[in-house]
Amino acid sequence: MKKFLAVAIALSATTVHAQQVATYYGGKFHGRKTASGEIFNQNAMTCASNKHKFGTRLKVTNVANGKSVVCRVNDRGGFGKYGIALDLSKGAFAKIAPLSQGRARVTIELANDADVADNKDANLVADAAPVANQVDEALSKIAAVTTTRTVKVVLANPTND
C-alpha cells in the first residue's frame, strides 16, 4: 500500500509540469462579462481554466521557446473536450507565441511570489489602472450632444366651410 501511495504522489507531481495545449481567445468576448463577473480584457494577462479557482495565478511556459507569462484565472470554458487545458487572453498568448500559431504546447504551474514579481516588472501581469485612465481620458473628450425634434401637426377641419 505504501508503494502504491508513493507512486501516486510521484505521478501527480510530474503531471503538474506535463505538456499541455493552450490556445487564446479575445475578439468577440472583449468587453463581455467572464464567469467570475469581471469584464474581459483581451489585452490583460488573464486566462480561462476549468481546473483552477478564480484568482489563481499560473505560470504558463511555451515548451518550444521557453517564454513564459504569469496570468490570473478569471474565466471558465468548455474547451477541455477539445484537448485544451487553458485558454489564454490574446495579450497573454502573444507574450509566449505568435498569434498566428493559434495553439501552443505549454507547461502550467502555480506561480510563486518570485514569478509574479519578475513578471510584474516586465508588465506581464494585468494592471487595470492604465486601462481605466485611458477610458476616463476618452470619456472626457466626448462632447455632450443634444438634439431637438420638431413635429408639425396639421389638424383637419371637421367642417367643410
Q: pLDDT for 18-64, tens place per residue?
A: 789 999 987 888 988 999 999 999 999 999 999 999 999 999 999 99
C-alpha cell at 143: 462632447
Structural domain containing residue 43 = 20-135
Q: Is residue 2 part of a domain?
A: no
Model pTM score: 0.63
**Secondary structure of residue 114 in the 3-state scheme:** helix
**Measured between alpha carbons, how far apart are the two ends of the chain, in Å?**
110
In a domain, 151, yes or no: no
- Give me the helices (H) in the chain, please: 2-15, 90-96, 113-121, 128-140
Q: Is residue 3 part of a domain?
A: no
CATH number, domain containing residue 94: 2.40.40.10
Q: Answer whether residue 156 is part of any domain.
A: no
The tens-digit pLDDT sequence of the chain (161 residues) is 555 444 444 444 444 457 899 999 878 889 889 999 999 999 999 999 999 999 999 999 999 999 999 999 999 987 878 889 999 999 999 999 999 998 999 999 998 877 777 666 444 444 555 555 666 676 677 766 667 778 787 777 766 65
Number of structural domains found in the chain = 1
48: enclosing H helix or E strand: strand 46-48
